[in-house]
Chains A and B, each alone.
Chain A
């Protein structure tokens, strides 16, 4: 077997951190994505403009740059705000929070497009029917639209989550001690870069496989109403 020189547990801790960041960013991104998709479909010109700018800008610049911008840029802004309150110390976001925000922003921009497509895929007649039955717009949204949007958006969101899981490695650049950073630390001690980066790669592959399987199960559940009827 491969000799990890006792760094195995460190890598496992890093992997757990990677999963934490991914889940945090996913939660933030889902909220952002749903919100901006609703804004784009609202028809209010200013909201549409804001949502469009957000998705276009974030999707056009590298994820690494978003991470760097949030991590180092936010420190400047926060320190400035703190100064105006008479507090003259260097203020910065923790790498974890900065990482979750940066990756959440990216996830949200792509999720926004997925949600928008899903909203548009629900036939208008269903909403009209809900309204005709006397549901308020909010009730129709919650009871009719949202459950179907979830089903339609799930494959797209699943792909985005797999991309997000891999993008968590970028947060290591900001000093966050996730799998990638832990691996680099192990490399600097053991001078065996190939072994350790290969192990890290295998761990990422393992996480990808697990997520793919989990997504498969979730899709099956979401599509329960659409399975072929058994002919008795």
Chain B
């Protein structure tokens, strides 16, 4: 117990890294997912090919391979090591963020595609009938609707990304898992510190789920039942 209290600050620093990695990956992932999902639902086949391949590769292979390919793999090429991007690509932190973002972007794109495709056809026709240009329709009708429909599924993806961020510990980053592993390497208290790490993850995922739920209620406020007048007061 004393060991845990003494090392708790370090574990909390790890927790900050975990949250940071997750949020950065999610933010970049959304930026990738929106264009990918839109192109994936295009009517032109050559627009669908690239996002299809991207989604297929990143959903079909393990995140660990993707991260290793980026972190260890890129150094194989001389021209990458001498490029201007190398200062970023040689850091494990940014490699992890990029790999996570590419991965979650692929999953999110697929979730968004589901959202886009389940928008009732009449709404799209109505937007066209109102004379909206395709761009305006995307911005005002398609994307907001798709996000609302896809939100619960996206919530799952957020939790998966949080859990996936533990892989950063395999490329020397000190997130919750990495911190626990380095502490255990000193004192051999594997059960205690992996257990503590688990508790921290549970807490963070609980907080994330609360936030997701609040946003969901906010997004679908128009669907909520009208406030009931209590039948009997007191």
Which of B57, B170, B194, B205 has the most A CB atoms < 10 Å from its CB?
B194
Query: A-side binding surface: helix, strand, loop or mixed?
Result: helix
> Which of A62, A180, A183, A195 lies in contact with B76, CB distance below 8 A?
A195
Which residues of A have CB within 8 Å of B181? 68
B69 x A201 contact (CB < 8 A):
yes
Which residues of B have CB within 8 Å of A200? 65
In the complex formed, the residue of A with least CB distance to B76 is A194
Flag whether B21 is at the interface (Cβ < 8 A): no
B76 CB → nearest A CB, Å: 4
**A55-84 vs B: 1/0 string, CB under 8 Å?**
011011111110011001101110000000
In the complex formed, the residue of B with least CB distance to A187 is B72
Which residues of B have CB within 8 Å of A198? 69, 73
Whole-angstrom distance between the alpha carbons of A219 and B52 in the complex?
A: 24
Whole-angstrom distance between the alpha carbons of A79 and B106 in the complex?
A: 43
Beta-carbon contacts under 8 Å, A19-37 to B? none
A204 x B62 contact (CB < 8 A):
yes
Flag whether B74 is at the interface (Cβ < 8 A): yes
Whole-angstrom distance between the alpha carbons of A166 and B77 in the complex?
A: 27
B166 x A205 contact (CB < 8 A):
no
B194 x A62 contact (CB < 8 A):
no
Given A61-B201, A62-B177, A65-B177, CB of A169 within 8 Å of CB of B65: yes
Flag whether A209 is at the interface (Cβ < 8 A): yes
In the complex formed, the residue of B with least CB distance to A72 is B190
A95 CB → nearest B CB, Å: 15
* Contact size range, A: 35 or more
Flag whether B163 is at the interface (Cβ < 8 A): yes
Flag whether A192 is at the interface (Cβ < 8 A): yes
Flag whether A11 is at the interface (Cβ < 8 A): no
B201 CB → nearest A CB, Å: 5
A169 x B72 contact (CB < 8 A):
no
In the complex formed, the residue of B with least CB distance to A172 is B64
A62 x B163 contact (CB < 8 A):
yes
Flag whether B197 is at the interface (Cβ < 8 A): yes
B166 x A62 contact (CB < 8 A):
yes
Seen from chain A, the residues whose Cβ lies within 8 Å of a Cβ on chain B are 56-57, 59-65, 68-69, 72-73, 75-77, 166-170, 172-173, 180, 183-184, 187, 191-195, 197-198, 200-201, 204-205, 208-209
**Interchain Cβ contacts under 8 Å between A and B, 12 examples:** A59-B159, A60-B159, A62-B163, A64-B170, A64-B177, A65-B166, A166-B61, A168-B62, A180-B62, A197-B69, A201-B57, A201-B66
